[in-house]
Amino acid sequence: MHVKLGKNMRSVSIVGVGATPFMDTVTDPNHEYHGITHGEMFGYAALDAMEDAGLEPRDVQYFFHGHAAHIFQQSQTMNLQVADWFGMRGKGSIAHSEGCCTGYVALEEAVFAVASGAYDCVLTGGCEMACGQPVENKPSHIRVPITLEAIFPDLDTIFDRAYGRWLGGAPGMNHDDWVNYYAKTYGISADEMDDVLCKLAYHARRAAAINPRALYTGSTFDDLAKEAGFDDVWEYMKSPYNPKMTQYLRVSSNAPSADGAAACIVMPTEMAKDMKQTPIEVLGTGAGVLDAIVPHEEMKSTAKAAAEVYELTGLTGKDMDLLMVNDFILPSQFLAAEEVGYIPRGEGWKYALEGRLAYDGDRPVCTNGGRSCYGHAMGASGLADVFEAVIQMRGQAGDHAVKKLPKYTMLRGFGGAQNVRCTILRTVD
């Protein structure tokens, strides 16, 4: 099958990936990385990607720097401030922000920069230190824990506050929008949906527990239940240890903030074939953007973006072997999986209940643990999903590897009130 990114564009592949663990470097003064700066964090991921690709900083011609929210860094044009940390001083670069979709847009922009012929080797990365914020008039490594009182006014800036439905007014309504619509459409009771979301969270934690880069690595919900004195994990999942935050979402559906960075390097596929790692070709990206004032905007934008990339590549959801979803709203795992045709429409809740969307299920989704358990370093989360997709497709995922080596993977990015990207990756033969 011959596919293109677009008219007159050349094929582009990922040749290197890198990532820090997702962690909390702020609240624990004894943490190994306590006091690390944004530049150091981004540089770690960038150098990791270069090492993975077998490249040096001198080989990279241009880079993109992504971060989601000003409040975490309180800096402008961050690309200028991080370049020294990975040997890119003086080279061309761009800073950008698309909220929680930043990492997915970062891949898209780097791919276009190479596909156009402007560059042959581009690094793109994302970083967020989302567990804290700088102290005014202090060096940037001095940070204090973030609070809702601080973050909500900043998050509101991604919404049209004059004519739109802004986050500060109804976060619960915003996060329950699609799952409520789905439950009513298919006649799923509140108790049934509670079971679905508890199962999704349970399997996400299973994956994260054996993923060394995950925020919640090392412990499952079974472990937490036992520590709390429960013999039945499902009793624990519905106990006050895991209370509801909204009509549908429990604490286990939450996306805990994390500090972290991730990066990848792209090159023309013909050049990528001579590199040390198996090239992962970026076949194409579909995009959809709707303001949160639009009812069911995540569903509608996902449908548009998926249709666009399927038309471009000639593929369908049934061709995908792995799906990564930016699921900071946990039910997005099965809702987006249905919308992109990865699983049958109206059946996703059953797939979740049966464990079929788990990393070791037959239709795996969010194999790194997803936002609820891998963690959410907003501007880095998308590229952390790219990292996960690539190591799964190479067969390098270790203990949390999927059963079937993926040939095709879809990344469904979402965020920023709201940007959506659907990108398809393919292992080069």
Least confident of 93-97, 136-140, 245-249: 136-140
| Residues whose CB falls within 8 Å of the CB of residue 35, separated by 6 or more in sequence, listed in order | 25, 141, 142
pLDDT value, residue 265: 98
- The phi-psi region of residue 123 (left if phi > 0; otherwise alpha if psi is between -120 and 50; otherwise beta) is beta
pLDDT bucket at 166, cuts 50 / 70 / 90: low
Q: Which residue has the higher pLDDT, 142 or 302?
A: 302
CB-count exposure of residue 288 (10 Å: 0-12, 13-18, 19+): buried
* Banded pLDDT at 173 (limits 50, 70, 90): low
Which CATH architecture best describes the domain 12-154+256-272?
3-Layer(aba) Sandwich (3.40)
Buried b (16+ CB within 10 A) or exposed e, 221-245: beebbeeeebeebeebbbeebbeeb
Show Cβ contacts of residue 292 under 8 Å, excluding neighbours closer than 6 positions.
159, 164, 165, 166, 167, 174, 417, 418
Q: Kindly state the percentage of the chain with pLDDT values over 90.
A: 77
Query: What confidence tier does 29 reach under pLDDT thresholds 50, 70, 90?
Result: confident
**pLDDT tens track for 39-92:** 999 999 999 999 999 999 999 999 999 998 777 776 778 888 899 999 999 999
What is the per-residue pLDDT for 172?
Answer: 52
Whether the CB-CB separation of 400 and 366 falls below 8 Å is answered with no
Residue with the bigger pLDDT between 31 and 154: it is 31
pLDDT in tens, 353-389: 999 999 999 999 999 999 999 999 999 999 999 999 9
Q: Give the separation between CA 121 and CA 20, rounded to whole angstroms.
A: 22
Give the bridge partners for 324, in sequence order: 411
**Which whole-number Å values give the CA distances from 121 to 12, 92, 118, 410, in the listed order?**
10, 12, 10, 23
Q: What are phi and psi of 408, to 5 degrees?
A: -125, 135
- Would the pLDDT of 392 be above 90? yes
> Could you tell me the residue ranges of all domains in the chain?
12-154+256-272
Instruction: Look at 40 and 5; give whichever has higher pLDDT.
Output: 40
Average pLDDT, the chain: 92
pLDDT at 165 over 90: no
DSSP letters spanning 337-382: HHHTTSS-TT-HHHHHHTTTTSTTSSS-B-TT-HHHHT-B-HHHHH
Residue 311 tokens read as 């038309």
What's the pTM value of the predicted model, to 2 decimals?
0.95
**Which stretch of DSSP H or E encloses residue 19?**
strand 12-19
pLDDT > 70? residue 2: no
pLDDT at 3: 42
Q: What is the pLDDT of residues 203-254, one digit of tens each?
A: 999 999 999 999 999 999 999 999 999 999 999 999 999 999 999 999 999 9
Contact 278, 394 (CB under 8 A): yes
Distance CA(60)–CA(119), nearest Å, equals 9
Residue 340 vs residue 171, higher pLDDT: 340
The reported pLDDT for the residue numbered 164 is 62
pLDDT exceeding 70 applies to what percent of the chain? 93
Helix, strand or coil, per DSSP, at residue 260: strand
